[in-house]
Amino acid sequence: MTSKLGPVPGEHIKISTNQWTEPFWQAGKEDRLVVAQCAKCQVQRMPPTPFCPNCQSQELDWPQLSGRGTIYSYSICHRSPFPGVVDNMTYVPIIVELDGAPGIRLVSNLVDATLDDLKIGLPVEILWNPIQDGWKVPLFRPSV
Ligand code: ZN
């Protein structure tokens, strides 16, 4: 396959947030990637959760990351996530190990790449794709 992978159509994606996840999504509106980090012991966690798994603190900082990382794992999907709306769509869910956040991995999708580009360890960089209600979701493309 040589055609480029595109994003899952954002107009069909709706998210819900809560007090623990909203800072992540607010930063995404500004095309910034942040990570939840315990304000007491500095242990990072993703996804954001109410309690630190290390010290049980609920105080969070949100340091900004570079938006770069490497593909830790992936899957190739040939079934549309929106059958009847978008058919015959190939997309690639990926797990990205984020630079500057050891052990933190983000689930996303690969875009602007072909299946021939796809491999474990591929360097990638983030881009933010608009979805419903003014939010954006993180996608990744091969970094240059
Ligand atoms: Zn902690």
pLDDT (tens digit, 0 to 9) for every residue of the chain, 144 residues total?
567 888 878 888 899 999 999 999 999 999 999 999 999 999 999 999 999 999 999 999 999 999 999 999 999 998 887 777 777 788 999 999 999 999 999 999 999 999 999 999 999 999 999 999 999 999 999 998
Instruction: Please work out, in degrees rounded to the nearest 5, the angle formed at the alpha carbon of residue 133 by the alpha carbons of 131 and 138.
Output: 35
How far is C-alpha 29 from the geometric centre of its chain's CA atoms?
13
Q: What is the DSSP pairing of strand 136-142 with strand 92-98? A: unpaired
In 30-122, beta strands by DSSP E: 33-34, 36-38, 44-45, 60-61, 64-65, 68-74, 92-98, 105-110
Expressed in angstroms and rounded, the spacing between residue 39 Cα and the centre of ligand 1 is 7
* Radius of gyration of the CA atoms of the chain, in A: 16
Query: What's the CA-to-centroid distance between 46 and ligand 1, angstroms?
Result: 13
Distance 66 CA to ligand 1 centre (A): 23
Task: Please give the distance, rounded to the nearest whole angstrom, from the Cα atom of residue 34 to the centre of ligand 1.
Answer: 17
Task: Write the single-letter amino acid at 44.
Answer: Q
Query: Ligand 1 centre from 54 Cα, in Å?
Result: 5
Give percent of the chain above pLDDT 70: 99
Angle, alpha carbons 92-9-82 (nearest 5°): 80
- Which residue reads 């304000």 in tokens? 39
Residue 42 Cα to ligand 1 middle (Å): 6
Helical (H) or strand (E) element with 23:
helix 22-29
Distance 132 CA to ligand 1 centre (A): 33
Q: Rounded to the nearest 5°, which phi and psi values hold at 107? A: -85, 130
Which residue type does 91 have?
Answer: Y
Taking the centre of ligand 1 as the mean of its atom positions, its distance from the CA of residue 37, in whole angstroms, is 8
CA-to-CA distance for 20 and 27, rounded, in angstroms?
13
* Residue ranges with CB less than 5 Å from ion ligand 1: 38, 40-41, 43, 52, 54-55, 57
Cis peptide before 81 (omega within 30 of 0): no
pLDDT tens-digit map of 78-100: 888 777 777 778 899 999 999 99
